[in-house]
Amino acid sequence: MRFELERQALLKPLQAVIGVVERRQTLPVLSNVLLDVDGDHLNITATDLEVELRAGTPVEGAEAGQITVPARKLVDIVRNLPDTARVELTVQGDRAVVRAAQSRFTLATLPAGDFPTVEEIGDVHGLELSQSALRRLIDKTHFSMALQDVRYYLNGLLLELEPTGLRAVATDGHRLALSTMQQSLDMSEPKQVIVPRKGVQELLRLLDHSDDSVHVELGENHVRVALPELRFTSKLIDGRFPDYQRVIPEEGGYVVALDRETLRQALVRASILSNEKYRGVRFVVDENRLIIQSNNPEQEEAEEEVSAGYDGPALEVGFNASYMLDALAAVDEEQVDVALTDANSSALIRGRGNTADKYVVMPMRL
């Protein structure tokens, strides 16, 4: 096996896949990338057994073959070569020799047959989206995923497909984020899949804000996303996502109309003196104003007053300031509506006029 490439042409696919290579591996071969030269194409694959990334680049005059080499060492070598260098990689026995300009590196290899890959993902349902649309769905919801929750199905992002569109939902049991995209899909009944946290993070890194098309395939146990010269495959979380519709407050309630940035800054200041562990703040609303209060075990207190559009009864509700700030950061609109019911009910946060995105924050007892 042999190929030769410009440094940048080799570095780009290497950097695209390196994110899934864990530094500590149970299997030595998982620290490697699979190099596969087939005809006039080089494919580079990395996996951690949960997420697989395969990136490709054209090559000329190459000798076909497969081998695995240490991922991070190869990336570091190529990254630190001169910009104008041409890189040649040749396999000699159980060693890979990398040459460029006046440099020569000999790397240990492991057989390609030892490398676990996912070729077929079974019966699939496919759909075409723009990169920006898929990225937006993930961007607006991913921050509400749980982190190492024993309810393993919360450690991921729900993608729900219906004939009328696609929906992304994430919750950690204390807050929930939902984003919807309208699009006609060729399917007769709804389908739900849960993409694990690492897969979601890699997709966010790979997708851009362009209108370029991306092909999504949903299998029984895997999701696959095909981009130009890049293929992402992730295992799905096997579990039943909770009935999220039950925790979304019904439309109505008492709506507090606020300027998003003014509210955000007031929350940041008030949370400085909140309990560091629980980050609790108290929302006190009455006619045309919102008062945000916080205190901590050292008996320190903060109070912020914000002008608001509100003409309902006086209400007092406690919330986690960090969860509120995360929701506000996901809202693009300059004005937000915070719908409240009573001291024991969740808040529903939406950008003014936005019907696609909803954010729910559960109340706290303070």
Domain residue spans in the chain?
Answer: 2-114, 125-245, 249-361
pLDDT tens-place string over residues 181-206: 999 888 888 899 999 999 999 999 99
User: What pLDDT, on a 0 to 100 scale, did the predictor assign at position 1?
Assistant: 95
Strand 222-227: give its sheet, edge to edge: 65-70, 32-38, 41-47, 51-58, 230-235, 222-227, 213-218, 125-130
Is the Cβ–Cβ distance between 301 and 294 less than 8 Å? yes
- DSSP string covering 140-154: TTGGGS-SS-SSGGG
pLDDT tens-place string over residues 102-120: 999 999 999 999 999 998 8
pLDDT band at 341 (very low <50, low <70, confident <90, very high): very high
In this prediction, residues 210-215 reach a mean pLDDT of 94
pLDDT tens-place string over residues 132-151: 999 999 999 999 999 999 99
Domain 125-245, what fold?
DNA Polymerase III; Chain A, domain 2 (3.10.150)
Q: Is the pLDDT of residue 161 over 80?
A: yes
249-361 carries CATH number 3.10.150.10: yes
Please name the CATH architecture into which domain 2-114 falls: Roll (3.10)
Cα separations (Å) of 28 from 36, 76, 79, 134?
A: 19, 19, 23, 34
Global pTM exceeds 0.95: no
> How far apart are alpha carbons 40 and 59 in whole angstroms?
5
Structure-token pair, residue 150: 């024993």
User: What pLDDT, on a 0 to 100 scale, did the predictor assign at position 102?
Assistant: 93
User: What pLDDT, on a 0 to 100 scale, did the predictor assign at position 123?
Assistant: 76
pLDDT band at 252 (very low <50, low <70, confident <90, very high): confident
pLDDT tens-place string over residues 268-310: 999 999 999 999 999 999 999 999 999 999 999 999 999 999 9
User: What pLDDT, on a 0 to 100 scale, did the predictor assign at position 266?
Assistant: 98
Opening angle at CA 315, ends 309 and 320, nearest 5 = 95
Domain pair 2-114 / 125-245, same fold: yes
Q: Is the pLDDT of residue 224 over 90?
A: yes
pLDDT band at 26 (very low <50, low <70, confident <90, very high): confident
